[in-house]
Amino acid sequence: MKKLVFVGAGSMAEAMISGIGASGLLPGEQMWVTNRQDTDRLKTLEQKYGIKATYDYEVLFRDADAIVLAMKPKDAAGAIEEIKPYLSDGMLIISVLAGVSIDAIETVAEKSLAVVRAMPNTSAAIGKSATALAVNSHVSEAQKLLVQELFNTVGLTTIVEEYQLDAVTGLSGSGPAYIYYLVEAMEKSAAEIGLEKQTAKQLIIQTLLGAAEMLTQSDKEPAQLRFEVTSPGGTTEAGITILEQHGVQSAFVSCIKEATAQSKRLGHLLGDQLAAANRPL
């Protein structure tokens, strides 16, 4: 790949730019970015990653191999409308938009396109994303390999059916936030039980890393690993009893189901925008 263009310069675009740049797959000068209006943000990204930024679409899309759609789903219809004159045959569209279907992207663009839908997460910034990909029939085998190679540089990549991407979004797309939420709770409790912030932070992070590594290396189920921490009448049992009383595990299940449902709703939003413009999917 010689030129990768990001339309949208927010958290997800930066995570990918950072991860791809650090991997060495593409040097900064082969990555281009634009956004709607935030010029300071573009300057920051240029300086930080050595990438190129412009609002001149002729320059931006000239000889682009792949275009990453990285705006919010609500802004997707407007953004695709703006860029559609510049989308030529042979360009690969990589969409990271939650919920938005490949059909919807082609409908707004009013042409058949090679589209890969990807659902990475922000850990792409450090090469640790969990990414799922789904492709349409216009994506060539070479393009599919290229996208896999691209996302492999920022973490683990798996191929799924397009209908499964809402579930992936609810589970691993949003997943880092659930873990950070847990860490926030652990940090709050540490303050209340008399541990210094820095000490607590070190202990929490190492605990997470250790548990993740145990899940990776051990062939035991998570419930068995939990059982092995839980001495009868001990501290863990006392703590988990409180979590059970508050229904925390079922709250997490509901959380992931609701995030999945929201991904579906975000997809319908673009369908509704198209229907309002008398261009139904």
Ligand X SMILES: NC(=O)C1=CN([C@@H]2O[C@H](COP(=O)(O)OP(=O)(O)OC[C@H]3O[C@@H](n4cnc5c(N)ncnc54)[C@H](OP(=O)(O)O)[C@@H]3O)[C@@H](O)[C@H]2O)C=CC1
Ligand Y SMILES: O=C(O)[C@@H]1CCC=N1
Is 140 strand, coil or helix?
Answer: coil
Amino acid at 16: M
Question: Does 129 participate in binding ligand Y (rule CB under 6 A)?
Answer: no
Q: Which stretch binds ligand Y (CB under 6 A): 61-69, 104-112, 167-175, 210-218?
A: 167-175
Cα–Cα–Cα angle for 64, 43, 85, rounded to 5 degrees = 30
Lookup result for tokens 């290396």: 217
Strand spans (E) along 85-200: 92-95, 114-119, 129-135, 155-159
Q: Give the one entry of ligand X, ligand Y, none that residue 218 binds, where binding means its C-beta sits below a cut-off of 5 to 8 angstroms depending on kind.
A: none
* Partner whose footprint covers residue 34, from ligand Y, ligand X, none (CB < 5 to 8 Å by kind): ligand X
Cα–Cα distance measured from residue 30 to residue 77, given in angstroms and rounded to the nearest whole number: 26
Residue at shortest CB range from ligand Y? 173
Sole binder of ligand Y in the list 53, 71, 98, 102 (CB under 6 A): 98
Residue number, 31 or 70, with CB nearest to ligand Y? 70
Q: Answer yes or no whether residue 169 interacts with ligand Y by CB under 6 A.
A: yes
Task: List, in sequence order, every residue forming a beta bridge with 159; answer none if it has no partner.
Answer: 133
8 binds ligand Y (CB under 6 A): no
Looking at the Cβ atoms of 135 and 256, the one nearer to ligand Y is: 256
Residue position matching structure tokens 């975000």: 266
Query: Which residues sit at the interface with ligand X, rule CB under 6 A?
Result: 7-13, 34-38, 41, 70-73, 75, 78-79, 82, 96-98, 119-122, 173
The DSSP secondary structure of 151-176, one letter per residue, reads HHTTEEEEE--GGGHHHHIIIIISHH
Phi, psi of 140 (to 5 degrees): -75, 165
* Residue whose Cβ sits closest to ligand X: 10
Cβ neighbours of residue 174 under 8 Å, at least 6 residues apart? 121, 259
Taking the complex as a whole, how short is the minimal distance between the CB of residue 162 and ligand Y, in angstroms? 16
Of positions 8, 19, 155, 173, contacts ligand Y by CB under 6 A: 173
Q: Are 115 and 95 in contact (CB under 8 A)?
A: yes
Q: Which is nearer to ligand Y, 136 or 174 (CB)?
A: 174
CB of 225 to ligand X, least distance (A): 27
| Residues 5-37 as b or e (16 or more Cβ within 10 Å = b) | bbbbbeebbbbbbbbbbeeebbebebbbbbbee
Minimum distance of ligand X from residue 274's CB (angstroms): 16
Between residue 174 and residue 193, which ones bind ligand Y under the rule CB under 6 A?
A: 174
CB of 174 to ligand Y, least distance (A): 4
Residue 256 touching ligand Y (CB under 6 A): no
Which residues contact ligand Y by CB under 6 A?
Answer: 98, 169, 173-174
